[in-house]
Amino acid sequence: MRDIAMFFAMLALVPLAFKNSYNAYLLWGWTALLSPVYYLFGFMQGLRYNLIFAAIAIGLWLLGKVDLKGKISANSSTLLLIAFMFHVSLSALFGYDNNPWNIQVYEGFIKAMFFVLMMPIFVSTRLRIHALVLVICLALGFHGVVEGLKLISSGGAHKVRGIETSMLSDNNHFAVGMGMVLPLLIFLMIHLKTQIAKYAATAGLVLTVLAIVATHSRGGFLCLSVVGLWYAFTARRKVFSFFLLAVISFLAFQMAPEEWFSRIETIKTADADESFMGRVIAWKVSTAVALANPVFGGGLHAIQAAPVWQEFIYKLDFLSFISTPLPDAQHPRAAHSIYFEILGDLGLVGFLIFISIIINGFLTAGRIRKLTAGEENLIWARDLADALRLALVAYCIGGAGVSLGYLELFYVIVMLLAVLHKHIQVFSDAASKKSAQSSLSLNRKINLDG
């Protein structure tokens, strides 16, 4: 039944994409973040939805069929992302042999970066910025709504495993991805025009929080806690934000099973937890790989390749001051941290570029806040910058314990901040020019009257 529904949906969506290049771009992003094949089991499962809409969008751009066309500017965000993409390409090229993950991860990363780097071309107006935020929420929020409803229907027994066909492929990855989309759902809840749309965004927000609870992820709990408290203390409407935090927290604790509370309690004794200490060992191995290959690292997901893991697991003496159990040399582990993942994969140089992208994202959000200060008609831009900044906070906190260094949503948020900043700059420049012209006209009138 799902496949039949998807078949008829494609009959409508493909002509819609050809009709307008921006529709194609939105559908390109929607299929990338949603990963619809996860929900299909029949004749429509093998279709490459993302490739279809990417090809239409790029084709229309090459044919000059992009209306309201923007342009790629040489701002700090774009330059850092291009530098990072170039460095990732070199790291994949010069990485260790016998790493089956190298090409697989690289292909997914490059596809995501094409979407990200083309954003300034397609997203050039306020309406289009809003539409892209809405599509992100519809894509990732759909997973949150589905899993949240499952938790309610099961009376708290449901446990999220992740979306196997996407980067959010296990419970911890899923929790971080959902934590990043929460601020955008809050933004929509405040700024959508119709009451029914606001109710839909609110329901999506609550269900996505419940979906994070259903992951039983300790990293997800930390991410959720930081997002909630950060929003409550930094939002424009403090009373509303604390009320929202209190209501959602109450609902989450009511639905959470005893197993969830037991899992969260283990945060206090992380040094005695076998799973956590296994991650520390993986961080050690990633560091060893980076120090042996400081420029290009070991290649993408290098330590997950058995030969690389087995080579470096015995070279950790320089980190002996960090006490860990005897490591398992036969079973490679993921890096379990965006920071150590990038460090081991891309070396010290790639790590510095990655950290620069994060810092630049926060600085861009700060510049937007400065430009919009005191401007009533730009409150939406300030709120969106705050939401995107909070999504970065969720990524930085939640990502400390998962291997999501190449998560497309992170790079989308960084570029969306750059696009928003450019839009506000143009608006501010136009307002300043208009004000200057008004002052000049007034001065001329005064001189003539004098």
User: What is the reported pLDDT for 442?
Assistant: 45
Distance CA 17, CA 6 (A): 16
User: What is the reported pLDDT for 438?
Assistant: 54
User: What is the reported pLDDT for 200?
Assistant: 95
Joined tokens for residue 99:
């790493």
Side chain identity, residue 182: L
User: What is the reported pLDDT for 439?
Assistant: 52
Joined tokens for residue 257:
């099973």
Q: What is the pLDDT along the chain (450 residues), one digit of tens a residue?
A: 889 999 999 999 999 999 999 999 999 999 999 999 999 988 898 899 999 999 999 999 999 998 888 888 889 999 999 999 999 999 999 999 888 889 999 999 999 999 999 999 999 899 999 999 999 999 999 999 999 999 999 988 899 999 988 989 899 999 999 999 999 999 999 999 899 999 999 999 999 999 999 998 888 888 888 888 888 888 887 788 888 888 888 878 887 777 777 777 766 555 555 677 778 888 989 999 999 999 999 999 999 998 999 888 887 766 665 666 666 666 788 899 999 999 999 999 999 999 999 999 999 999 999 999 888 889 999 999 999 999 999 999 999 989 999 999 999 999 999 999 999 987 666 655 555 455 555 455 555 555
Which sequence spans correspond to the domains of the chain? Answer: 1-67, 74-124+273-450, 137-268
Distance CA 194, CA 201 (A): 11
Contact between 409 and 177 under an 8 Å Cβ cutoff? The reply is: yes
How would you label 264-285 residue by residue, b for 16+ Cβ within 10 Å and e otherwise? beeeeeeeeeeebbbbbbbbbb
User: What is the reported pLDDT for 156?
Assistant: 86
Distance CA 284, CA 287 (A): 5
Map tokens 């490679």 to a residue: 332
Residue 306's closest CA among 29, 99, 56?
A: 99
Map tokens 């996860």 to a residue: 38
Joined tokens for residue 327:
């490591």
Side chain identity, residue 155: G
Contact between 299 and 341 under an 8 Å Cβ cutoff? The reply is: no
